[in-house]
């Protein structure tokens, strides 16, 4: 199970590209509204999305990957959700996978100290917020249980990396080819 968490102001492509490509690969994916009383979430460009479930229904103990999209103020809204941050901490403590793209690696994982000693990437200009990480300029980086990516333009690479981690390189290459990426 992969959970993609959504907060008002999320970057639509960074959230929905992984959902789409992971589902094409046969992975069970749930979009999760961080708001306990509503599934409707509005992206940074005004695109409304009806999440599959709300945060109260997310059982991250069963999550293979927690995905944190970027976007502003979406990233800040994710960070301010205590329930989600507790889930992220628990996922990390269990050594389970966490994936973040754009501002989320720096603003969320960096601020929580989850990148210390790891190689990571993020949206250009936010590298100083990745506390203790070795920042690199790559489209996607996996170091241990953490996968990071730079932004909207790297969303397909990010999604394909998650497919590789869950289903293998052959399936990832098949999906990449099928969408002409």
Indicate the Cα dihedral angle 101, 107, 108, 112, nearest 10°: 140
Which sequence spans correspond to the domains of the chain? Answer: 2-174
pLDDT computed for residue 165 by the predictor: 98
User: What architecture (CATH level 2) is domain 2-174?
Assistant: 3-Layer(aba) Sandwich (3.40)
Output DSSP code: residue 110: I
Per the prediction, the chain carries an average pLDDT of 98
Average pLDDT for residues 30-56, to the nearest whole number?
98
Average pLDDT for residues 27-42, to the nearest whole number?
98
158: pLDDT strictly greater than 90:
yes
Percent of the chain scoring above 90 in pLDDT: 99
The full length of the chain comes to: 181
pLDDT tens column, 50-109: 999 999 999 999 999 999 999 999 999 999 999 999 999 999 999 999 999 999 999 999
Query: Which residues, at least 6 apart from 168, have a Cβ–Cβ distance to it below 8 Å?
Result: none
**In angstroms, how far is the first alpha carbon of the chain from the final one?**
24
Percent of the chain scoring above 70 in pLDDT: 100
Tokens describing residue 175: 């999906």
**Predicted confidence band at 181 (pLDDT cuts at 50, 70, 90)?**
confident
pTM for the model: 0.98
Coil, strand or helix: which one is 95?
A: coil
Give me the active site residues, please: 102
**Predicted confidence band at 116 (pLDDT cuts at 50, 70, 90)?**
very high
């Amino acid at each position: 199970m992969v959970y993609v968490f959504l907060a008002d102001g999320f970057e639509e492509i960074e959230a929905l590209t992984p959902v789409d490509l992971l589902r094409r690969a046969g992975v069970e994916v749930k979009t999760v509204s961080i708001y306990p009383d509503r599934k409707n979430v509005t992206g940074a460009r005004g695109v409304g999305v009806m999440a599959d479930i709300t945060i109260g229904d997310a059982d991250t103990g069963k999550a293979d990957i927690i995905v944190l999209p970027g976007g502003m103020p979406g990233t800040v809204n994710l960070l301010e959700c205590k329930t989600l941050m507790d889930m992220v901490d628990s996922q990390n403590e269990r050594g389970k996978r966490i994936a973040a793209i754009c501002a989320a690696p720096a603003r969320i994982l960096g601020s929580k100290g989850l990148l210390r000693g790891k190689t990571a990437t993020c949206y250009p200009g936010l590298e100083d917020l990745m506390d203790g990480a070795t920042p690199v300029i790559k489209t996607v980086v996996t170091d241990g249980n953490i996968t990071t990516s730079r932004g909207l333009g790297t969303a397909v690479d990010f999604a394909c990396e998650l497919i590789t981690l869950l289903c293998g390189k052959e399936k990832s290459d098949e999906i990449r080819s099928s969408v002409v990426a």
